[in-house]
Structures are given as C-alpha cells and as structure tokens.
Structure 1
Amino acid sequence: MKLLTESEQQQVAAAIQRIERDTDAELVTVLAAQADDYAYIPLLWAGLIALLLPGSVNIVGGWLNAGNLLLVQWATFISCGLLFRVPAITTRLIPRSVRYWRASNLARRQFIELNLHNTEAESGMLIFVSEAERYVEILVDRGISSRLDDSTWQAIVETFTNQVKRGETLQGFLTCIETCGVLLKEHLPATHERNELPNRLVILS
C-alpha cells in the first residue's frame, strides 16, 4: 500500500524544515497504514455467527439433524472468516474504541522509538496518523506542554482527521504542520540552530 508518493513525502519534509527554522521544537511526522492487523477480529466474528446463526435458524425450522448442523456451522465459520478478512470489512467490525486504543498505543510507541522524549530542550513533537483507523494524534514533550496546553491541539487534530477521512492526507499534513508552526514560533521561538531528529515522513506500512 503506497500511502504517499516520494514527491508528497518530500513536501512534508520541506514543510517541517521550514517551520523548524523559527522554533526550538523538533517535529517528527509518522504515517501508518494501520495500527494493528486485527487478525483475531475476523475469527471472533465468524465464530460467533457460526455458533449462533445456524442454530437459531434450525430451532425455528427444525430442518437439520446434529451432524448436518455441525457441517453448516463449519461452512458458515469458514465463509465468514474469509469474507471478514477483507480490509474494508474488517475495519467496520472493530469497535471505534478498540481502533483508537490501538492507534494511540502505536503513536506512543513511536514517540519513544523515535527519541522524541530525548531532545535537548525536551521539545519533541509527534504528528501521528493511522489511515485505516482514520486516527490523528499530536504528542509533545514537556518543553512544549509547559508552554502550550494539550487542548491547543484539539481543533488542529479534528481538522486533520476530517481531511484524512476525505482522503486528503497530504494536505492534512501540510495544513497541520503550518498551523502548529505558527503556534510554536510564538510560544517556543528558535534560540539557536538545531536539527536533532530527521525531518522526513516516517512511513509504517
């Protein structure tokens, strides 16, 4: 799955480079295809349907003996298991709370793995997007959160989330980076030149 082309990724990197000239913040962007493979979800739903549906129908109709009922249950389980593995269907079977929880966990892991918690001025900032979950989150280290309240990012995240839902992921990144840059320039202006973390867009496919 090609999330963004090389040219589009370069546009994101250039946008990061522009705003980092005016702020001490170290901005990193991450784009994930999905936060989890949810391999257990198709099997869980297929098992429930295979267990409940044929039996319920048979109680009403009484047209299957025990042996045939078991065969129908197995056939239902296999058919549903295969059908529910289609990504577009799998996503719709997962409760939103579960999808967001998995995406949020991945965002926090990326914050640590990319050393955003270990910058000189504690000024790391992560803009994280998971496309399958239509999930956007902004995470910041203490150097930023001490000057800008977490609620500052809420409207920016909501706007970006709507853009991801419309398939405008690139424009979402560019708009988000520019908007964050204005705030960071005001509240965390550059004191000296630094570039501790890579400006490229990190792709998790």
Structure 2
Amino acid sequence: MSLLSESELQQVADAINRVERHTDAELVTVLAAQADDYRYIPLLWASLLALLLPGAVVFFSGWLSAWQLLLVQWLTFIVLALIFRIDALTSRLIPRSVRHWRACNLARRQFIELNLHHTEAGTGMLIFVSEAERYVEILVDRGISSRIDDSVWQSVVAAFTEDVRNGQVLEGFLTCIETCGSLLKQHVPATHERNELPNHLVVLP
C-alpha cells in the first residue's frame, strides 16, 4: 500500500489548480486506502465450510453422532474464522465483484458528501481511487456529462487503473488530472474565475 508524502499531495493539488484555471469544472480527488474492512467475508466462508465439511463426513462415513457433529462444526468454524483473518488469505476470499461494489458505493458517497452535486453550474467532477481494490472511477455532474459522453472517461480510467496496479498512484493521479484537464478545457472552458471546492487530495484511511 503506497502512502503519498506531503510533497506528493502538493503535486496533486498543484495539478488541479493548473487545470481549473482553464475550465469551469470543479475537480476533487479522493484516495481511499481501502473501501471496506470486509470482516464479514471470512466469517461467511468459515460458516459455510463449517456447515458443509463435517456434514460431508457424516454423509459419507456416518461415524459422527448428532452432538459430535455439532461440536465439530463449532470447532471447524472457530479454526477457519481465525485462519481466514490472515490478510493474505482474506484478500483471496473476497470476490472481485464484491470489492468493486464496495468501492463503487464509497465513490458515490464521496461525491455527495463532498458536495460535488451542488456546484454553481453542475460541473463537479470526482476522480476516485480505492487502492486496495485497485479501483478507479470518474464521476461527473450534469454540467459535464451533458457536454462530454461518459464513454470518453473509460480509457482514462483504464490507464489510471493500470498505474494503481503497478503501485504508481501519484503518477496515475497526475496523468489523469492532466488528461481530464485537456478534455475539460475543450468542452467546459472557463467563463469566470471561481473555486467552490477544495483542490487538495482527500485521503481516506
């Protein structure tokens, strides 16, 4: 997990400042270390296996009594729950769809909580990264989506996602901001000076 230094955070803020000089868009960047702690996932797996494995033994051998089966199930659950708490194993137990679903939800919550839907001309734009999930998303308000088709951002997101996978989070942010800035300058040019939202990178633990 990378941790951006103060100087790197300043580079992101400076990049946003440069972009916003030429567009009415309000850019906000968010970096989350992780979208969820997923504590329930190991418990779900432990519960499922504790039900199935001892039951399978009884089915094929029939040597466990009812109370023995219950005891084995509880022991199996406890052991697996402890084993699955190991980070290296936990990450493998979480389906990619679940990780991306949690990151997607967090991105949308941040869009609302940071008031990106309340800008003067509906020109809020969120560049969101959840590092543990290797998830990148760009969300824009109506003032931008009415001028730039959402499909345009797909290649930008794909390139940024690859940077995150390679541990190049800072480089990804700077490239993404610059690319978005070029598009915004062309389609949502500056009409007057304003700065409604903070330009620093919001870092979530």
Q: TM-score, normalising length from structure 1?
A: 0.92
**Does residue 142 of structure 2 align to residue 108 of structure 1?**
no
Q: What is the letter of the counterpart of residue 97 of structure 2?
A: S
Q: State the SS of the aligned residue for 1:28.
A: strand
Q: Does 1:201 align with 2:198?
A: no
Q: Measure the CA separation in 1 of the matches of 2:89 and 2:181.
A: 37
Higher mean Cα deviation, 119-128 or 162-171?
162-171
Structure 2 gaps of 5+ residues are none
For the aligned residue pairs, the C-alpha RMSD in angstroms reads: 1.7
Deviation at 1:80, TM superposition (A): 1.4
- In structure 2, how many angstroms separate the alpha carbons of the residues matched to 1:186 and 1:79? 59
- Find the counterpart in structure 2 of residue 139 from structure 1: 139
Bigger drift between 62-71 and 99-108 goes to: 62-71
Deviation at 1:122, TM superposition (A): 1.2
Three-state SS of the structure 1 residue aligned to 2:151 is helix
Does residue 98 of structure 1 match 2:101?
no
* Runs of at least 4 residues off by over 6 Å: none
Preserved CA contact (<8 Å) 2:2 2:169: no
Q: Which residue of 1 aligns with 2:186?
A: 186
TM-score by length of 2: 0.92
The one-letter code of the counterpart of 1:177 is I
Amino acid at match of 2:190: A
Partner Cα distance (1:117, 1:24) in 2:
14
Percent of pairs identical after alignment? Answer: 75
Is the contact made by 2:25 and 2:123 (CA closer than 8 Å) also made in structure 1?
A: yes
Residue 43 of structure 1 corresponds to 43
Aligned length: 205
Q: Aligned partners of 2:98 and 2:40: how far apart in 1?
A: 13
Q: Unmatched 5+ residue regions in structure 1?
A: none
Give the partner amino acid of 2:163.
Q
Deviations 1:9-44 (A, max 9, x none): 111111111111111111000011121222221111
Return 53-62 or 174-183, whichever deviates more. Answer: 53-62
Moved more, 30-39 or 57-66: 57-66
